[in-house]
Amino acid sequence: MQKPSGEFFSTLGYYVYWYADGDDPYYIGKGIGDRCWAHVVDKGFDPEHIHIVGQNLSEEQALALESYLIFKHNPKRNKVLGHHTEKFVMAKLSEVHTEYTNAKYDNFEVLPTWYTENYSYFKGKIRALNLSDTSTFVMSSANQQMYMMWYWYPLGEEPIKVTFEVNLPVGDNMNAVKERLCLWLKKEGFKNISDDGKAQKLAVYVNSIEEVLNLWNNFWS
């Protein structure tokens, strides 16, 4: 193949090209004018291997496409990676999200304000406190053979489901404590009390985290 004219090359604008003998490119570049032909001269590449991948691009588009193709194909004759290749991840969304949450996660940073400002409510009364950037789970210590627990979401999912669990096996004693719990919840103003997955559990829905804190205090009083 003879080298095309400068007039021909001017019709390509900014472009991206690769050299390939078959399906896999061994060199990828971007350029304007006769840039793609330069490697025939300085590297001895076969001009029949030149493929134009994109033409009449902006300089920024050509740079981005070149970088992506180098990242994807890893051509053996390119000595350096393209610009900004760290932005190409080729990963599942779930993996990218996990990396994001792991980088963001900090026990002290994600402590919700309602917890830190009311720490005296919780001191010595927490069995489990699980924190992430998407939710906070609180479970009380046992109080009169019962636990109180809930999930809170920073995005403000309300009403908040509050669950109570009787710390006894199924039987007469468990039923008696559960009935006492049910009567107490009714006195607290809850008309809709539901079972929650197992015989020992009851659940109610509370309108706000402030009301949950009030119920927590009453649970311990």
Using one digit for the tens of pLDDT, what is the confidence trace for 127-149?
999 887 778 999 999 999 999 99
Kindly report the average pLDDT of the chain as a whole number.
89
CA–CA distance, 173 with 179 (Å, rounded to integer): 10
CA–CA distance, 133 with 176 (Å, rounded to integer): 39
**What does the pLDDT look like over 42-53, one tens digit per residue?**
999 999 999 999
User: Once rounded to an integer, what is the mean pLDDT over residues 159-182?
Assistant: 92
> What is the band of 208 on the pLDDT scale with cuts at 50, 70, 90?
very high
Torsion of CA 40, 45, 51, 54, to 10 degrees: -60
CA–CA distance, 138 with 118 (Å, rounded to integer): 13
DSSP-assigned letter for residue 143: B
> What is the band of 87 on the pLDDT scale with cuts at 50, 70, 90?
confident
Q: Half-sphere exposure of 119 toward its Cβ, with a 13 Å CA cutoff?
A: 5
Q: What is the pLDDT of residue 43?
A: 92
Q: Would you say residue 19 has pLDDT above 60?
A: yes
Q: What are the residues whose beta carbons fall under 8 Å from the beta carbon of 1, sequence distance 6 or more?
A: 47, 48
Q: What are the residues whose beta carbons fall under 8 Å from the beta carbon of 93, sequence distance 6 or more?
A: none
CA–CA distance, 21 with 184 (Å, rounded to integer): 80
Q: What is the pLDDT of residue 103?
A: 62
CB atoms within 10 A of CB 187: 9
Question: Is the CB of residue 141 less than 8 Å from the CB of residue 127?
Answer: yes
Q: What is the pLDDT of residue 124?
A: 93
Cross-strand bridge partners of residue 71: none
- SS3 at position 165: strand
